[in-house]
Amino acid sequence: YGGFEVSLTPGYIAVPGAGWLERGGCFVQPNIRGGGEFGPSWHQAALKENRQKAYDDFIAVGEDLIARGITSKSRLGIRGGSNGGLLMGNMLVQRPDLWGAIVCAVPLLDMRRFNKLLAGASWMAEYGDPDTEDWEKFLQRYSPYHNIDAEIPYPPFLMTTSTRDDRVHPYHARSMVKRLLDVGNVRGNELYYYENMEGGHGGAADSKR
């Protein structure tokens, strides 16, 4: 996740557990800088202009898994949502060669406009203020939408969002997919988009309740 001092601690997760581990897969949960796993300083190490450290940590984990023979690039899939979706967006544009597939859920991806949409203004202490020199100094470097390169092939990519998300506006997901469609360089044309009409930032709602 790598943000907002959120700690991802060990525990059983049903979907990868039953759907992946029990079929012989391997599941890794990196504790990268920006999270809270090792205290406040771990979070503060990846704030604002230091955000790239979180992405460098995640890349290092992927490279290590391959170096140790645990997996290969073609079999290494990654997933993240919300701030973790921003992480996934940056993994797509920064190291498209390292991943076999990416799932990006309810993400923020346009760091030029994030503070104008829904709860975005409350995240400037974490990311910076794009209406100041922060944009040119560092924010544009980790704004996935602004770093798509038409000359680079990207791995298979699934984007999911929610129409009624009241935290991260679905604009982020929609605009990123539109941009990827425009450049047309996702490997095998495997670009998928799913927008849930119900529920919110946390996922689907039961329409019967």
Does residue 112 belong to any structural domain of this protein? yes
111 occurs within a structural domain: yes
d(CA 94, CA 108): 16
Amino acid at 54: A
CA–CA separation, 96 and 45 (whole Å):
25
Going residue by residue through the chain (209 aa), what tens digit of pLDDT does each one get?
999 999 999 888 888 888 888 889 999 999 999 999 999 999 999 999 999 999 999 999 999 999 999 999 999 999 999 999 999 999 999 999 999 999 999 999 999 999 999 999 999 999 999 999 999 999 999 999 999 999 999 999 999 999 999 999 999 999 999 999 999 889 888 999 999 988 788 766 555 54
Please report, for the domain that includes residue 50, its CATH number. 3.40.50.1820
Determine contact, residues 83/93, Cβ cutoff 8 Å: no
3 domain residue, yes or no: no
Q: What is the phi/psi pair of residue 200, to 5°?
A: -145, -140
pLDDT, residue 33, reads: 99
Domain region containing 178:
14-196
Say what the pLDDT of residue 205 is: 59
- Give dist(CA 204, CA 201) in Å, integer: 9
Number of structural domains in the chain:
1
Q: Is residue 2 part of a domain?
A: no
Q: b or e along 139-166 (b: 16 or more beta carbons within 10 Å of the residue's beta carbon)?
A: bebbbbbbbbeeeeebbbbbbbbbeebe
pLDDT of residue 209: 44
The full 3-state SS of 143-175, as one line of letters, equals CHHHHCCCCCCECCEEEEEECCCCCCCCHHHHH
Q: Which residues contact 194 (CB under 8 A, 6 or more apart)?
A: 158, 159, 160, 161
How far apart, in whole angstroms, are the C-alpha atoms of residue 68 and residue 78?
18
Q: Is residue 1 domain-resident?
A: no
Structural domain includes residue 175: yes
Q: Which residues carry out catalysis?
A: 82, 201
Place of tokens 């073609």: 74
Nearest-angstrom CA–CA distance, 13 and 15: 6
Whole-prediction pTM: 0.94
The verdict on residue 80 lying in a domain is yes
Residue 203, domain member (yes or no)? no
